[in-house]
């Protein structure tokens, strides 16, 4: 018998919690639209009580996404639950996801509560959430290090109180596959009313076992898997959506399970999340890594040429990869561009298509060939999560050499006025960033800087990603592309600076 596995995506909540992955409201909305195209069952859109920005992001997702259940996270506190409901109530299918820690170490040191108090709080929270929302999920945080008898009791009581989903998190990635599978089996056999609830799991990757633990849980009765795109998340991350989905799809003979996921949308959303968070996907990452379908060894190449399945257990096309270059140039029209974007998973309205088309034409004048990666860069840079340009680049000049002190002169536009300054640095990029700091007066620390080629050839676009920390410890990411890597670096730094400026204004008004 083939059963359906429910895919609960928490990229916008747990994925966004990792340092440097913060997304603005528009970026959250764009990722949510792509998750809808991917056909996930549930989108956990955020933690509404965490901040005004997170609340607005969850609310916008709830208002605009129609094809998925929209969940909001809440502690077992009345104010959290009310805030979550205020954000998700606009969804056609809302869900309140409430949680409390159940392991002895968490109850003693973090919560400083007895097991009786935790049980009472959990039941009270679920009962209250159920009065507001027809669907309530309860999570026992750090379940894999909790005492089983207590887990059975708390799950039994929250189901009585109205929880229709109970979640078993391996919060710190401690469990081993056989051990975790046995825990799910024991819960199924020892919680008297478990047939009234869906068993969900949420595995972390601290020991590299998140996907293995999730799959073992499926074998033992779990029917909902909580995961993220590219496996992003706190610390070592979460179970990777693409790995779980393709494991189930490729090995139906083992798991006898299916998902609703449109796997051809996996690669486009992987690239989108990578670009927006600034977290580069490692080349050897399963399913979506640059080398996932690359074959260099001669014996492998020979085998592939004779029969693809000698070294490929799935096709690149099954996850949304194309094996050919994009043939578009400066003579291509809007219709051809629109069709190619739709094939890539982007559906743009007329206004956004025009913006992309104009940038596409500008790039086509500089490059002989336009690749898929070029288009992805244009869409994510020009459309997705675009924030006001408080500071705009007007001009830059660099003087550098192996016997010259690198010096950068930068002119920015701020409120229609020109501000210019110069600075020296360890190199042309460092000098440029320091010149911008002198103009903006922001006290910033460079956390990470990365440049990579997006495409092949001498006219390849360079993609620069910059992460900076402000005086309050917040991390902001900027990303930009250009055929001039120095210009891309400066524009990426400015984008991060503009995020700081935008965040300051938003928090003031919020």
At 201, list the tokens: 């799991």
> Are residues 315 and 362 located together in one domain of the fold?
no
pLDDT tens digit string along 422-479?
A: 999 999 999 999 999 999 999 999 999 989 887 666 667 788 889 999 888 888 888 8
Both 443 and 490 in a single domain?
yes
pLDDT of residue 508: 45
Task: Return the SS3 of 121.
Answer: helix
Question: Is residue 235 located within the same domain as residue 91?
Answer: yes
Interval 42-64 mean pLDDT: 96
Establish if 282 belongs to a structural domain: no
123-146 pLDDT, tens digit per residue, is 999 999 999 999 999 999 999 999
Whether residues 314 and 328 share a domain: the answer is no
Co-location of 317 and 362 in the same domain: no
Per-residue pLDDT reduced to its tens digit, 261-312: 999 999 989 989 998 888 889 889 999 988 887 654 556 556 756 777 787 8
**Residue 510 has what pLDDT?**
43
- Domain region containing 300: 293-321
Highest mean pLDDT among 248-257, 335-344, 501-510: 248-257
**Which residues, other chains included, contact 380 with Cβ-Cβ below 8 Å and sequence gap of 6+?**
272, 275, 276, 479
- As a whole number, mean pLDDT of residues 395-419 equals 94
How large is the average pLDDT for residues 246-263? 96
Question: Per-residue confidence at 330, pLDDT binned at 50, 70, 90?
Answer: low
More confident residue, 405 or 24: 405
Cβ neighbours for 335, distance < 8 A, ≥ 6 positions apart: none
Judged by DSSP in three states, 276 sits in: helix
Residues 345 and 247 both lie in one domain: no
Is 94 part of any domain? Answer: yes
pTM: 0.78
Instruction: Reduce the DSSP state of residue 162 to 3 states and report it.
Output: coil
CB 12 within 8 Å of CB 236: no
pLDDT of residue 269: 94
Give the Cα separation of 75 and 109 in Å (integer). Answer: 17
Give the domain CATH number at 95: 3.20.20.70
462: CATH? 3.30.160.270
- DSSP tag of 196: G
CB-CB contact of 93 with 135 (8 Å): yes
Share of the chain above pLDDT 70, in %: 91
Last residue of a domain, one of 212, 246, 277: 277
Query: Is the CB of residue 443 less than 8 Å from the CB of residue 500?
Result: no
Same domain, 350 and 465: no
Q: What is the pLDDT of residues 151-208, one digit of tens each?
A: 999 999 999 999 999 999 999 999 999 999 999 999 999 999 999 999 999 999 999 9
Nearest CA to 13 among 269, 281, 239, 232? 232
What is the C-alpha to C-alpha distance for residues 373 and 128, in angstroms, rounded to an integer? 48
Does residue 426 belong to any structural domain of this protein?
Answer: yes
Inform me whether the pLDDT recorded for 57 exceeds 70. yes
Residues 253, 227 within the same domain: yes
pLDDT range class, residue 325, cuts 50, 70, 90: very low
**Structure tokens, 268:** 């486009």
Those residues with Cβ within 8 angstroms of residue 184's Cβ, 6 or more apart along the chain or in another chain? 168, 199, 201, 216, 217, 220, 221, 222
What distance in Å separates the CA atoms of residue 122 and residue 378, rounded to the nearest whole number? 47
Q: Quick one: DSSP state of residue 81? A: H
Q: Does residue 285 belong to any structural domain of this protein?
A: no
Does the pLDDT value for residue 419 go beyond 90? yes
Band of residue 368 on the pLDDT scale cut at 50, 70, 90:
low
298 and 190 within one domain: no
Taking the mean position of all CA atoms in its chain, how far away is CA 249? 22
What does the mean pLDDT of the chain come to?
A: 89
Tell me the DSSP string of 382-433. HTTT----SEEEEEEEEEEETTEEEEEEEEEEETTEEEEEEEE-SSHHHHHH
């Amino acid at each position: 018998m083939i059963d359906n596995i429910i895919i609960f995506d928490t990229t916008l909540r747990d994925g966004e919690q990792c340092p440097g992955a913060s997304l603005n409201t528009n970026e959250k909305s764009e990722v949510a639209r792509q998750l809808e195209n991917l056909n996930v069952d549930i989108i956990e859109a955020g933690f509404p009580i965490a901040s005004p920005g997170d609340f607005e992001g969850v609310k916008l997702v709830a208002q605009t996404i129609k094809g998925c259940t929209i969940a909001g996270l809440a502690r077992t506190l009345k104010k959290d639950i009310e805030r979550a409901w205020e954000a998700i109530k606009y969804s056609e299918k809302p869900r309140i996801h409430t949680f409390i820690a159940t392991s002895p170490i968490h109850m003693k040191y973090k919560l400083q509560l007895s097991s009786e108090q935790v049980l009472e709080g959990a039941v009270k929270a679920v009962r209250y959430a159920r009065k507001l929302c027809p669907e309530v999920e309860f999570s026992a945080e750090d379940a894999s290090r909790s005492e089983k008898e207590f887990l059975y009791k708390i799950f039994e009581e929250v189901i009585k109180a109205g929880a229709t989903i109970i979640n078993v998190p391996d919060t710190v990635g401690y469990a081993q596959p056989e051990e975790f599978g046995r825990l799910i089996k024991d819960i199924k056999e020892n919680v008297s009313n478990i047939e009234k609830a869906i068993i969900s799991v949420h595995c972390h990757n601290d020991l590299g076992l998140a996907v293995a633990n999730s799959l073992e849980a499926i074998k033992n009765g779990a029917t909902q898997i909580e995961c993220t795109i590219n496996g992003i998340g706190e610390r070592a991350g979460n179970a990777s959506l693409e790995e779980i989905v393709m494991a189930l799809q490729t090995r139906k003979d083992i798991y006898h399970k299916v998902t609703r996921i449109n796997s051809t949308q996996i690669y486009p959303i992987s690239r989108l999340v990578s670009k927006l968070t600034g977290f580069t996907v490692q080349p050897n990452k399963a399913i979506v890594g640059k080398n996932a379908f690359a074959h260099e060894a001669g014996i492998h190449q020979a085998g592939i040429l004779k029969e693809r399945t000698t070294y490929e257990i799935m096709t690149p096309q099954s996850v949304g990869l194309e094996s050919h270059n994009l043939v578009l140039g400066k003579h291509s029209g809007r219709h051809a561009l629109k069709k190619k974007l739709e094939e890539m998973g982007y559906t743009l309205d007329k206004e956004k298509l025009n913006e992309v088309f104009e940038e596409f034409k500008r790039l086509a004048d500089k490059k002989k060939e336009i690749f898929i990666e070029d288009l992805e860069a244009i869409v994510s840079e020009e459309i997705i999560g675009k924030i006001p340009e408080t500071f705009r680049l007007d001009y830059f000049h660099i003087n550098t050499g192996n016997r010259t002190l690198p010096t950068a002169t930068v002119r920015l536009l701020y409120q229609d006025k020109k501000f210019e300054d110069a600075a020296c640095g360890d190199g042309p990029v460092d000098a440029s960033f320091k010149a911008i700091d002198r103009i903006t007066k922001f006290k910033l620390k460079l956390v990470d800087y990365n440049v990579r080629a997006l495409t092949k050839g001498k006219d390849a676009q360079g993609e620069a990603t910059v992460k900076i920390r402000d005086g309050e410890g917040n991390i902001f990411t900027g990303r930009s592309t250009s055929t001039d890597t120095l210009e891309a670096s400066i524009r990426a730094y400015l984008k991060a600076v503009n995020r700081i400026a935008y965040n300051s204004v938003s928090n003031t008004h919020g």
